[in-house]
Structures are given as C-alpha cells and as structure tokens.
Amino acid sequence: MQSNDARILRGAAIPSACAGLVGVIVGVLAAGAEGAIGAGLATAVVITFFGLGLTAVSRIGEAWPHLLLGAGFLVYTTQVGVMLVLLLLLRDVTWMDGPVFGLTVLACLLVWLAAQAWTQTRVKQLYVEPSRVGESADAEPRT
C-alpha cells in the first residue's frame, strides 16, 4: 500500500471510529447493553468492510492500473452483497438492538465516505509517473 493510500485509509477510519464511539454511547442510552453491542458491531463492520475494500483497490491499482475501475466496481458490489447476507443473518438476533445497529452502520458509512472524499482531495497524488532525469519516455535503454 502506498503512503497516499494509507493516509486516505487513516483519514477515513479515524472519523468513522469516532462516529462509532458516539453510536455506542447513544446505543447504551437508548437500549442498554444490547444497543452498545449493536453499535460496536456496526462500527467494526463498516471499518472492516471499507478498510479491506480500500486496501484491495489500492493493491490492484499498484499491480494492474488498467483494471482499477473494474476492480472498484467488483469490490463495491461484493461489499454490498456481503452486507446483505450479514443483515439477513443478524435479522432476528436478540443479543443486540437492530435499529441501533442499522443507524450506526448508516452513520459510520456516511462519515467514512465524507472523510474519504475530503482526504482524497487533500492528498497530492501524481496521475502520471514522471520519467527519471535524463531519460525520455521513447529512448531506448543503453546496453
């Protein structure tokens, strides 16, 4: 992972974790221990899903930059599908509060997206790698 990608990951994960902490506090006040468990699980799910997705897209972009757009779509659809399965599995559990879980997922997700977009605009990232000094792009290598 490049340093720019790590900076973007930190810039999105830290605000999301703070939003999750607020969700845990609100969950405790609203639904007791079940609310805290739901908010904590929601925070972990969002940070894990989006962190792994950003890491995957970053590594694919390093290895195969021409596949970056397709990889982004694949990662996103995989995240949505896995989230759907997770929500279906957790639909009827009694050990956590469902509405607190859902609202915390939504809050952490929105904070993640806003923080990632804001951090992305602040990172100075080259679109094209410049050639080394003294070399031109079409020059043949010396033997």
Residue-wise pLDDT for 90-138, tens only, equals 988 999 999 999 999 999 999 999 999 999 888 776 666 666 666 555 5
- Looking at this protein, which amino acid is placed at residue 118? W
- Residue 110 placed within a domain: yes
- Please give the Cα distance from 96 to 111 (Å, whole number): 22
- Residue 127 placed within a domain: no
- Residue 134 placed within a domain: no
The pLDDT of residue 4 is above 90: no
Give the chain's domain count. 1
| 19 and 40 Cβ atoms separated by less than 8 Å | no
33: containing domain: 3-122
CA angle, 53 as apex, 62 and 105 as ends, to 5°? 155
Percent of the chain at pLDDT above 70? 85
- Half-sphere exposure of residue 122: CA atoms within 13 angstroms, side-chain side: 11
